[in-house]
Chain A
Amino acid sequence: MSVLDTPNPRRAESAGQQEAVEQERRHASTKRSPREGSRSSPLDRTGTGTRVVILVVLGLALLWTLVPLVWMVLSSFKPATAITSAEPSWLFTPTGEHYAGLFTGGNELIPYLWHSVAAAGLSAVLSVVLGAPAGYGLARSEMRGKRHLSFWIISTRMAPIAAVVLPLFLMFRQLGLIDTIPGLVLAYMTFNLPFAIWLLSSFFSDLPPALEESALVEGCTRWQAFRHVALPLTKPGLVTTFVLCLVFAWNDYAFALVFSGPDSQTLPIAASQLVTQAGIDWGQLCAIGTFVVVPMMLAGLAVRRWLVTGLTLGAVTGE
């Protein structure tokens, strides 16, 4: 907990010692774990009144957050009549029929699942593989107009989906990429790649260049300094980026709708296909929803600790 020992950061900064402070804080923040964080929270001064308020707020928040999800999972095990009964039914004989239904009949789920895994996984991997050097380059670059470049990168992510889809579609058709996994991967890259570059560049900016410089002095090439010094130190950033890209791609509907076909439809498409003229099969929809949601939740929670530090884009240490 070296952070406790540092002098008042404001003073340090005004004295022009940013480098040292930043380095030290970084050290602290990479080591920080939620448990340690809780020790530093000011509960010693929290009165019972406040504590009750906090517990009530959190209780309500948990209800608000969890009821829809729990209801979805519960409903996925309910018989159809219990789902559409006017009185909500809490007691029922669980049935696996909706899940069974997903794997039999016309639209079997396995290919969808496979497409989702392949397309989302590949696009997340590629985004990190391409985004890491680009983010590093951006962080370390001293070119003029760097800010414009970096703003351009963010702005590509803001492109309105419906407007870019037609030109992209025609481009992909020329390249024979429609209804292929590579095509879907590229489509996902339009929003994942800028995000990855942006996020990773902020991770690299947080690294003190001194570390790489000492590696250079010891005779490393710049690539080696990146590969063996900078990259290992940003592992949390790489993992965060990967998982977020995975979530974005896995959850995408608008692009998948346009660029997929019989050989590449993904899970969200499968979910939307349950909305038919003749009605919505809510049981299957809840089952498929559970199916879409659970893997991403697990992935997200697995890296939650890093998400916390990752998503602040260095704003914490920048103060």
Chain B
Amino acid sequence: MVDQEPSVISRRRTLGGALAGGAAFAAGGLLNGCATRGDVRRRDTADPWRRFAGCTLNFVSENTAPTSAIAADAERFTALTGIHVNIVTLELSALVQKVALDLASGQSQYQIIYADSYQVLAPYADGLVDLREPASDDSLPGDDSDLADFFPLQMDVSGRFGRGDRVLALPYDCATMIWQYREDLFEAHHERMANDLGFDPTPGPQRSWEEYYRIAEWFNDNVDEVSYGTGHQAKQHDSLMCDFSNVLFAHGGQYFENGEHIGRFGAVDPGPSTLGSEEALAGAEFYRRLLSVADPASTTWDWTGLGAAFAAGRVAMCPNWHEFAADNERSLPGRVGYTTLPSGPAKSANMYGGAGIAINGNTAPNERDAAWLFLKWATSRKTQLRNLTGEVGGATPTRSSIYRAPEIRRAQQRPTGMPTMLTAPAVQQAWKPEYSGLRPKIPMWNECDTAIYTELSRMLAGDAAPRRAMRDARDHIDRIVSRGWVAAE
């Protein structure tokens, strides 16, 4: 494209004033009219990977760890297949906007899509390719059974939607919220804490949220190395819903009846909200209490802000996405521990926030197969291993077999070259259904999410009591859900 543009300019310069406007339209149309792609060519080669050599694919992704690693490595894919891949990385809301517009145009500027489970997969499930087709195509490399290597929970949450066995995306990203704490401080003060609090403070799912609260308070009062015991991601943002959900689920609350099923498999019509329940209220009340002893800056932090604050040594512990382990290890080498979150009366819930990689349903058949090659390569064992260990690195594998490899097992102990693997025991536990925390996978989730974090934010700001906040959130969700999902009916 870089060599195309100068000609556009010189062309522009020659256009006289009066005609310029009309001509701009026409020139734009002509220039790109021919670029309105037909399908790519399929070659007959012996190497199944090189069938589509010479074509170009566009991949739009959120700017997450696996994509940074893959972008740094994309030349390998080009060497393997002869396919060139343009990678556009965007912040999540910008990504969702691009994907929706692309689907709305009935074409596919982006053949390969980073499919966030809640903002892309659920709303636009019918706009994505069922991957079982290319997976079972004998002329393409790889086979169906390979899909079984992904963690089952991740496969369901990130890859499927609604009834049936359709596979709409392959697990690609698997951020999970866990308990991150200053191991050094917990060790140094262990005795005193145990005496003062009357229980063993060692973090883990055997701790209750109530104990977490007391530990946080204890740090506030007794330890000078950190300003506060706990920090949270309680900005009016998606992060607030995530942070709250861990507490809500732990207390037995749910957003909808049958919430765990809706979280795992998804539904278009989830029915009435259950946020008005006593369990949900107990969760909300506890959450507000927890935030009252947390670092007051918590209400300005999303996960990023919280991650930075924790790494800067402001707080002694926090629930946050496991991927921040890399930053932690850089700023506080050897001083951070990871485990699953505390339990409430119901369970220990650890928010899973993974995403898949999918193919736009508007792609032409050969393009689709070429895109499948990329999916296949990007989620392959080799690539994931390289993404974990490589120079850019830090991406967490979604294939279970990788965690059984001896070098990965070794990397879970310090000293390690793969800091995210320090979280491996915790996240692997968090991917078991009994430890998982799953928000509802419904197409209108984004709007419900906004209603929830807005009410929560109001509650934390002192504008609404927990009961009122939960009731208002419930009413709001019911209104949203009753309107149905218009955009993709």
Contacts and interface: CB of A to CB of B under 8 A. Distances in A.
Q: Tell me if chains A and B make direct contact, with any CB pair below 8 A.
A: yes
Interface of A: 84, 86, 105-107, 111, 114, 118, 122, 125-126, 129-130, 132-133, 166, 169-170, 173, 175-183, 185-186, 257-258, 261-265, 272-273, 275-280
Nearest to A170: B105
A261 B101 contact: no
Given A84-B308, A186-B25, A277-B63, A263 B1 contact: yes
A91 B62 CA distance: 36
A173 B29 CA distance: 10
B28, B65, B71, B94, most chain A CB atoms within 10 A: B28
Nearest to B62: A277
B197 interface: no
A112 B28 CA distance: 20
B107 interface: yes
B2 A111 contact: yes
Given A126-B21, A170-B104, A182 B63 contact: no
B97 A176 contact: no
Given A166-B104, A176-B36, A182-B31, 6 more contacts: A170-B105, A173-B107, A181-B8, A185-B24, A257-B97, A279-B307
B5 A169 contact: no
Contact of A275 (B91, B308, B323): B91
Interface string B13-38: 00001101100110111011101100
Interface in B62-96: 62-65, 68, 71-72, 86-92, 94
A10 B168 CA distance: 76
Interface in B295-341: 303-304, 307-308, 312, 321, 323-324, 326-327
A130 B58 CA distance: 35
A232 B260 CA distance: 72
Contacts of B63: 273, 276-277
A259 to B, nearest CB: 9
The SS class assigned to the B binding surface is helix
A130 B104 contact: no
Given A133-B17, A175-B25, A261-B88, A181 B323 contact: no
B29 A130 contact: no
Interface of B: 1-2, 5, 8-9, 12, 17-18, 20-21, 24-25, 27-29, 31-33, 35-36, 58, 62-65, 68, 71-72, 86-92, 94, 97-98, 101, 104-105, 107, 109, 175, 303-304, 307-308, 312, 321, 323-324, 326-327
Given A106-B71, A118-B9, A177-B29, A276 B107 contact: no
Contacts of A278: 64-65, 304, 307, 323-324, 326-327
B180 to A, nearest CB: 14
Given A261-B88, A278-B304, A129 B28 contact: no
Contacts of A84: 308, 312
A150 B40 CA distance: 49
Contacts of A176: 28-29, 31-33, 35-36
Contacts of B20: 126, 129-130
Contact of A175 (B28, B307, B326): B28
Nearest to B71: A106
A262 B86 contact: yes
B411 to A, nearest CB: 20
B307 A130 contact: no
Contacts of A275: 91
A275 B327 CA distance: 15
A105 B392 CA distance: 10
Contacts of B97: 257-258
A114, A275, A277, most chain B CB atoms within 10 A: A277
Contacts of B109: 178-179, 261
A169 B63 CA distance: 24
A182 B27 CA distance: 8
B33 A277 contact: no
19 contacts: A106-B87, A114-B2, A125-B12, A126-B20, A126-B21, A133-B18, A173-B105, A175-B33, A262-B86, A263-B86, A264-B1, A265-B88, A276-B91, A277-B62, A277-B63, A277-B175, A277-B323, A278-B327, A280-B304
Contacts of B32: 175-177, 180, 182
Nearest to B70: A106
Contact of A126 (B24, B64, B87): B24
Contacts of A258: 97-98, 101
Nearest to A193: B21
Nearest to A264: B1
A181 B35 CA distance: 14
Contact of A130 (B21, B33, B327): B21
Nearest to B308: A279
A99 to B, nearest CB: 20
Nearest to B101: A169
A268 B40 CA distance: 33
A166 B101 contact: yes
B64 A276 contact: yes
A262 B94 contact: no
B262 to A, nearest CB: 25
Contacts of A106: 68, 71-72, 87, 89
B64, B105, B312, most chain A CB atoms within 10 A: B105
A152 B176 CA distance: 52
A262 B58 contact: yes
A109 B87 CA distance: 14
A175 B64 CA distance: 33
A118 B25 contact: no
